[in-house]
């Protein structure tokens, strides 16, 4: 909560964090550890967890190994190699309590708009209940995968059966014995198919385009493994092992560049897996083999999906959905499939960054206008003319284990905040030159990536790759450590005195745009600290 000391009210460094998923929680812990306790985490839903709060579909679990898909500052006694939604949410709840930051969270508060006030050197943060609060710094942790993509199939609204998106699972329905359609065979679709196949009457799986698929070797840890791996050196070693594996052989390396031996090797391993499972079903083998290079879409990691397709009551339809009737689905070949339940595992509007709020910067322009459908940022974090605003999991930071990227960005932001406290800088912006050069480099590298060769959710409408980082995230860490100080433009502006109400019990200091011009003058001192004296 905001400190109530006079000093803080006169000269505060209040931080608003938007979103309480892995990113927002990492920010809360690191801010607290850095001695910045004047922060509030606004979360529009009524609980924490982000995607691990919203995605409760059968079979939901993470694709990375638990010891790697977790915070560097929090070990845990994981029950599985790849934990499910409930365990991940429990981990986040335990983390919030262990680090004593729960009181900073305000649930049920969506941030609708933030607006930079140059005079006050702070943002006006507009909330979904109509109130407005003032913060010197805003960290967006709104994530990518929380606006479900609802397809525009003709007839969808006339469908008489049960229908829902995978991220809005309707648990009240008993699916046993029913005819179910799962549309989509990405990471989510395959998990749902595996979980439903044993219980439903008939399963029809619609696949517009196959993905390259690996078995991920998931299993429940034995008692002995849990004893060995839940803390200390055992935990650290496990974490390092998967970090190393990812940087060298996994996501984001040369294996995602067509024409390299690593790429060919990865593709050959997937082809061997297909050949092994479908040795007696060449029709299915053909249907699940992509016609684009390995890495053209996010790799699908699942054990048992191919085997599920071999079951008598499971039908793979290797075509897109054309339209929906009152009782079924018509595929692109014109064949109708009668179903009782339609599950849309159709993904998210991921490339539409920061779609849940409006961000207004120094020039009075909104970030959406500046981006014009092509989101870009320096290291995914900062955009020129939007001072004191940081994005976690921002443009072009999606690669490998996302938690590592989130923590790296959080550390970058918290270091900047510490510098502001130390030097008295009232704003930090990013140099336009660094922003431009970095994004040119990104796009040049990404042009060589397999993702450029296929249709996928990593692209903006114009086809520009706006989600992925072009190489492994170890390099992202290096860039964040090396470039932060050089890329920053610090300013010290004597903020206009604004009327700030004393904070209510348990709340932050309140003010409103209506009284923001009380007091005198605009900026009266502008100092640039190009040289950081950290």
Ligand X SMILES: Cc1cc2nc3c(=O)[nH]c(=O)nc-3n(C[C@H](O)[C@H](O)[C@H](O)COP(=O)(O)OP(=O)(O)OC[C@H]3O[C@@H](n4cnc5c(N)ncnc54)[C@H](O)[C@@H]3O)c2cc1C
Cβ at position 354, least distance to ligand X in Å: 8
Q: Which is nearer to ligand X, 188 or 496 (CB)?
A: 188
Cβ at position 380, least distance to ligand X in Å: 11
Cβ at position 530, least distance to ligand X in Å: 31
Sequence-ordered list of residues with C-beta below 8 angstroms from that of 444, at least 6 positions apart, any chain: none
**Nearest by Cα to 183 from 158, 214, 152:** 152
- Burial class of residue 8, CB neighbours in 10 A (0-12, 13-18, 19+): middle
Integer angstrom CA distances of residue 252 from 64, 281, 292, 494: 14, 33, 17, 44
Q: Which is nearer to ligand X, 188 or 416 (CB)?
A: 188
Cβ at position 444, least distance to ligand X in Å: 25
If residue 428 lies in a helix (H) or strand (E), which one and from where to where?
strand 427-430
- For residues 29 and 74, give the distance between their C-alpha atoms in angstroms, rounded to a whole number: 10
Cβ at position 88, least distance to ligand X in Å: 8
154-160 own/partner pairs: CB under 8 Å, 24+ apart: 154/323, 154/324, 155/323, 155/324, 155/325, 155/326, 156/324, 158/324, 158/325, 158/326, 159/324, 159/325, 159/326, 159/327, 159/342, 160/326, 160/327
Cβ at position 191, least distance to ligand X in Å: 8
Cβ at position 129, least distance to ligand X in Å: 12
Q: Which is nearer to ligand X, 105 or 153 (CB)?
A: 105
Q: Which is nearer to ligand X, 111 or 488 (CB)?
A: 111
- For residues 371 and 355, give the distance between their C-alpha atoms in angstroms, rounded to a whole number: 12
Residues that bind ligand X (CB under 6 A): 18-24, 42-45, 50-51, 55, 60, 62-64, 69, 110-111, 141-146, 188, 356-357, 392-393, 401-402, 406
- For residues 325 and 338, give the distance between their C-alpha atoms in angstroms, rounded to a whole number: 9
Q: Which is nearer to ligand X, 141 or 197 (CB)?
A: 141
- 306 in Cβ contact with 193 (< 8 Å): no
Q: Which is nearer to ligand X, 356 or 439 (CB)?
A: 356
Structure tokens at 118: 């140059």
- 231 in Cβ contact with 237 (< 8 Å): no
- For residues 227 and 237, give the distance between their C-alpha atoms in angstroms, rounded to a whole number: 14
- For residues 421 and 410, give the distance between their C-alpha atoms in angstroms, rounded to a whole number: 17
3-state secondary structure of 86: helix
Q: Which is nearer to ligand X, 299 or 416 (CB)?
A: 299
Q: Which is nearer to ligand X, 341 or 402 (CB)?
A: 402
Cβ at position 81, least distance to ligand X in Å: 12
279: left (phi over 0), alpha (psi -120 to 50) or beta: alpha
Q: Which is nearer to ligand X, 43 or 118 (CB)?
A: 43
Q: Which is nearer to ligand X, 143 or 318 (CB)?
A: 143
Cβ at position 99, least distance to ligand X in Å: 16
DSSP 503: P
Phi, psi of 341 (to 5 degrees): -135, 135
DSSP 80: B
Cβ at position 20, least distance to ligand X in Å: 5
């Amino acid at each position: 909560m905001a400190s109530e000391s006079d000093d803080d009210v006169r000269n505060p460094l209040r931080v608003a964090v938007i979103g309480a998923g892995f990113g927002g929680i990492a920010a809360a812990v690191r801010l607290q550890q850095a001695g910045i306790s004047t922060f509030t985490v606004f979360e529009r839903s009524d609980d924490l967890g982000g995607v691990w709060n919203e995605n409760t579909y059968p079979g939901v679990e993470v694709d990375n190994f638990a010891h790697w898909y977790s915070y560097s500052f929090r070990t845990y006694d994981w029950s599985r190699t790849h934990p499910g939604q409930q365990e991940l949410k429990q981990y986040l709840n335990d983390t919030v309590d262990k680090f004593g930051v729960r009181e900073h969270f305000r649930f049920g508060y969506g941030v609708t708009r933030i607006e930079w006030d140059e005079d006050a050197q702070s943002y006006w943060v507009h909330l979904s209940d109509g109130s407005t609060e003032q913060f010197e710094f805003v960290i967006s942790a709104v994530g990518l995968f929380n606006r479900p993509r609802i397809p525009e199939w003709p007839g969808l609204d006339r469908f008489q059966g049960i229908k829902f998106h995978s991220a809005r699972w309707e648990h009240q329905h008993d699916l046993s014995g029913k005819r179910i359609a799962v549309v989509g065979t990405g990471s989510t679709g395959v998990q749902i198919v595996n979980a439903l196949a044993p219980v439903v009457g008939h399963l029809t799986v619609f696949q517009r385009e196959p993905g390259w698929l690996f078995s991920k070797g998931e299993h429940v840890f034995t008692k002995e493994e849990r004893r060995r791996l839940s803390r200390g050196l055992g935990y650290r070693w496990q974490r390092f092992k998967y970090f190393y594996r990812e940087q060298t052989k996994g996501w984001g390396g040369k294996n995602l560049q067509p024409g390299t031996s690593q790429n060919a090797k990865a593709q050959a391993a997937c082809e061997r897996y297909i050949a092994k499972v479908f040795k007696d079903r060449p029709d299915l083998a053909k249907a699940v083999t992509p016609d684009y290079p390995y890495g053209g879409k996010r790799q699908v990691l699942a054990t048992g999906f191919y085997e599920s397709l071999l079951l008598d009551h499971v039908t793979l339809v290797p075509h897109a959905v054309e339209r929906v009737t009152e009782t079924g689905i018509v595929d692109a070949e014109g064949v109708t499939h009668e179903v009782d339940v339609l599950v849309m595992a159709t993904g998210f509007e991921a490339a539409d960054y920061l779609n849940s709020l409006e961000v207004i910067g120094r020039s009075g322009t909104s970030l959406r206008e500046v981006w014009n459908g092509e989101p870009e940022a320096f290291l995914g974090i900062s955009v020129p003319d939007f001072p004191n605003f940081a994005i976690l999991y921002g443009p072009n930071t999606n690669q490998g284990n996302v938690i590592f990227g989130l923590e790296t960005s959080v550390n970058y932001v918290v270091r900047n905040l510490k510098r502001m406290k130390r030097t008295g800088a009232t704003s930090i912006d990013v140099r336009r030159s660094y922003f431009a050069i970095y994004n040119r480099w990104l796009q040049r590298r990404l042009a060589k990536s397999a993702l450029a060769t296929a249709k996928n959710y990593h692209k903006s409408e114009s086809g520009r790759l706006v989600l992925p980082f072009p190489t492994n995230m170890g390099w992202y860490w290096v860039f964040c450590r090396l470039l932060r100080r050089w890329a920053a433009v610090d300013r010290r502006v004597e903020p206009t005195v604004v009327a700030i109400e004393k904070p209510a019990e348990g709340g932050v200091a309140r003010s409103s745009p209506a009284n923001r011009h009380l007091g005198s003058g605009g900026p009266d001192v502008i100092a640039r600290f190009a040289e950081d004296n950290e």
